Structure 1
Amino acid sequence: MERVEIALADDQALVREGLKSLLRGLGIDVVVEAADGEALLAALSSRRVQVVVSDIRMPGVGGVDALRALRERGDATPVVLLTTFDDSALLLDAVDAGAQGFLLKDASPEDLCDAIRRVARGEVLLQPVATEPVRSRYAFHAQDAPKALFTEREVSILRLLAGGYSNKEIARSLFLAEGTVKNYVSDILDKLDTRDRTRAVLKAITLRII
């Protein structure tokens, strides 16, 4: 399996050391370490990685601020944020800033490894995103209503999109061809008048479609 080089930011040295050791055995190499967002940004100015994994809450420059700074300087490296259930507002800021994924801090090393490999391939992992903070943040109005009603199948696919599933995984879950799922996703984006899956899920949650 191809090895992946990542940057890891966490203010707890023991957490960084533990993750480094566990991920190394799964084919993920931590080549950049940082105790906060400022150190992460400094390190990434001279060292390229395939994925950035960062705690969302750190002293000084946190994960979201570091992500925003990366994007502002033109660095499109995929970012996975490690979060807790009470970070919903920060998660929405991270979506706006351009995060590719979120993962709970108590996730298994295998789940983290899978998330890293998926975002390295260009996928987006939206889970977990709490629904009520999304609805309060994105107050869509009548003119934002879907162009057409959603079928039961489209709602099922939207829920899987919200869980961070890829087209291939959705196809496997619903016993559909991957091309069929791709067509469904295109129709969903059109009905919600959005250009990407992340905005589609946020809008669907806000409009109580899912």
Structure 2
Amino acid sequence: MNATTPRLRVALADDQALVRAGLRALLERLEVTVALEAEDGQALLDALQAQPVDVVLSDVRMPGMDGIAMLRGLRARGDATPVLLLTTFDEADLLLDAREAGAQGFLLKDAAPGQLHQAILRVAAGETLLAPVSTDPVRARYRFHDDRAPGEGFNPREVAILRLLAGGYSNKEIARSLFLAEGTVKNYVSAILDKLGTRDRTRAVLKAITLRII
């Protein structure tokens, strides 16, 4: 970030003081200003009324008002500030609720500093991150691991396309990234949606996350 570019200002919400301190120190090293901190969703909502920020970085699970309830409150009063929720894979069932409440993105709590920085920059720029930024190769299995899932698995190309869908890429962008024809990508996406039992791309991605496909 050069001298003419203003530093991004974020609000940080987590009920653990040590976690907030660690994140604050990390963000300052990344030249991101922590404009305010809160230990629960209600405190964050109150603080944001007096001090707007560029991005809200909030834990999902907090005592009192959690991250999703905070998000709903924020949107209910017309505040469109991008919200990036901190999550873990065992909270994947919460992602659909968070997305429907108006979250712009999700970030794993063990994400690397560079991934955190890029996630903040991207949501601040208006992008949507439907999947946690980092994915462990172990989780890149090509089959469902859930009793409710259909028997048919996903091949590596379909998994790659799902990951790009999670990053908010259009069919045209996916085609360019994977050196495929746009029509071929459209066919792949249709097949993926059929396997996941949905006609909605967002729900398909969130279901894939929940079932550890990506």
TM-score if structure 2 supplies the norm length? 0.71
Shift of 1:154: 7.6
Letter in 2 for 1:69: G
Query: In the alignment, is the contact (CA less than 8 A) between 1:19 and 1:109 conserved in 2?
Result: no
Query: In the alignment, is the contact (CA less than 8 A) between 1:123 and 1:166 conserved in 2?
Result: no
Please say if 1:33 is aligned against 2:40. no
Superposed CA deviations along residues 101-154 of structure 1, whole A, max 9, x for unmatched, are: 111111122211110101111111111499778x97xxxxxxxxxxxxxxx978
Please say if 1:111 is aligned against 2:115. yes
Q: Out of 80, 83, 88, which is 2:84 matched to?
A: 80
Other-structure match for 1:46: 50
Other-structure match for 1:17: 21
Identity of aligned residues (%): 62
**Any idea what SS the aligned residue of 2:10 has?**
strand
Note closer, same or farther for the CA distance 1:5–1:132 as it changes in structure 2 (3 Å cut).
Answer: farther
Note closer, same or farther for the CA distance 1:156–1:14 as it changes in structure 2 (3 Å cut).
Answer: closer
Shift of 1:46: 1.4
Q: Out of 58, 63, 66, which is 1:59 matched to?
A: 63
Distance 2:37 2:207 in 1: 36
Query: Could you list the runs of 5+ residues in structure 1 that have no partner in the other structure?
Result: 137-151
Note closer, same or farther for the CA distance 1:106–1:205 as it changes in structure 2 (3 Å cut).
Answer: closer
Query: In the alignment, is the contact (CA less than 8 A) between 2:174 and 2:185 conserved in 1?
Result: no
TM-score if structure 1 supplies the norm length? 0.72
Letter in 2 for 1:120: A
Note closer, same or farther for the CA distance 1:98–1:6 as it changes in structure 2 (3 Å cut).
Answer: same
Other-structure match for 1:142: none
Query: When the two structures are aligned, how many residues end up with a matched partner?
Result: 191
Shift of 1:83: 0.8
Shift of 1:165: 5.4
Note closer, same or farther for the CA distance 1:90–1:156 as it changes in structure 2 (3 Å cut).
Answer: closer
**Any idea what SS the aligned residue of 2:50 has?**
coil
Note closer, same or farther for the CA distance 1:159–1:65 as it changes in structure 2 (3 Å cut).
Answer: same
Query: In the alignment, is the contact (CA less than 8 A) between 1:54 and 1:63 conserved in 2?
Result: yes
Alignment of 1:156-195 (within 5 A): 156-162=160-166, 164=167, 166=169, 170=174, 173-175=177-179, 194=200
Distance 1:59 1:120 in 2: 27
Distance 1:57 1:204 in 2: 22
